[in-house]
Amino acid sequence: MQKRKLGQNGPEVPAIVLGGNVYGWTLSEADSFRQLDHALDAGLTFIDTADVYSRWVAGHHGGESEIILGKWFAKSGRRRDVLLATKVGIEMGEGKSGLGPRYIAQAVDDSLRRLQTDYIDLYQAHTDDAQTPLEETLGAFDKLVKAGKVRYIGASNYSGPRLAEALEVSRSNGLAAYVSLQPHYNLVERQGFETDLLPVVEKYGLGVIPYFALAAGFLTGKYRRGTDATQSARAGMVAKYRNERGYAVVDALVEIAKTHNATPAQVAMAWLLAQHGVTAPIASATSDSQLHDLIAAADLKLDAASLRRLTEVSDPGQP
């Protein structure tokens, strides 16, 4: 699998990131272990999770994904083969949220315990915390880097101006700086990243690892005109894409996939990989075929005409 540099100051990483949000949610522990074994054997060694996964499930409290990963590390002995990313900041219970220094110090130790490891490769602010001064947040992250608990830090769900401000705070105070951004970006979610965040990414040389690379499954070709999506677990998440522009994007993906002997999912991720600034899209898998899509997408090269067609048909200005 091809590798890319995660921004100017980050590590070299595989071109696809394996999403760990499904571990303990839609994948059992046993199936998660099996997927992780297969993924690493195929070179898919960059895994992204978060402390809050999967708190949204009835009876869950958060930490379920990290716990499964920790058990797999202990069983497989392959921690050193993985570039591990997790996140902090979204509510984990009363008094457990935000990016204040005291909470970050507590949250990282909780994640390390669940993950059964003594370091995190990429520790990310899951969402901006406007209530905490950036100097305090970045100072807390800086302490973790100096203590060896964290190798690199990244940001997710920041606006362009706040991201730029955070990077300037790090620069002016000599603190650890974000090396990466995890934004919401895919063929049907383009405007926010391309207009607000890309200029900041380019200026500061950040790596970009977009989440929802397949738009909650919409870009896999599963949802077509006239199909009934109401029974899907992600029906609510894809409802906003079920319009003429969304269907036109899916139609183009299906047609281009046929010409490249690929799947629509592979083509959608290959388009992302071809976009300026993007390092490695994040996508999760709940089956062997979906995992194969992720692995194959890393090496799929789309011709200029296919890239142009997808860019045009997904233009945010289209109705």
**SS (HEC) of 240-251:** HHCCHHHHHHHH
List residues bridging with 227 in a β-sheet: none
What does the alpha-carbon distance between residue 244 and residue 313 come to, in Å, rounded to a whole number? 10
Catalytic residue among 23, 53, 123, 241: 53
Strand 12-14 relative to strand 3-5, pairing = antiparallel
What's the token pair of residue 191? 């405007």
15 to 164, 192, 299, 309: CA distances (angstroms)? 25, 22, 9, 23
Place of tokens 């807390």: 140
What does the alpha-carbon distance between residue 107 and residue 92 come to, in Å, rounded to a whole number? 9
Residue pair 192/184 in contact by the 8 Å Cβ criterion: yes
Strand 120-125 relative to strand 150-156, pairing = parallel
Residue pair 149/122 in contact by the 8 Å Cβ criterion: no
What does the alpha-carbon distance between residue 2 and residue 22 come to, in Å, rounded to a whole number? 24
Residue pair 182/213 in contact by the 8 Å Cβ criterion: no
Amino acid at 102: R
Active site residue 103: no
Q: Which of 205, 145, 150 is nearest to 176 (CA)?
A: 145
Strand 207-208 relative to strand 178-182, pairing = parallel
Collapsing DSSP to helix, strand or coil, 20 comes out as coil
Instruction: Please list the active-site residues.
Output: 53
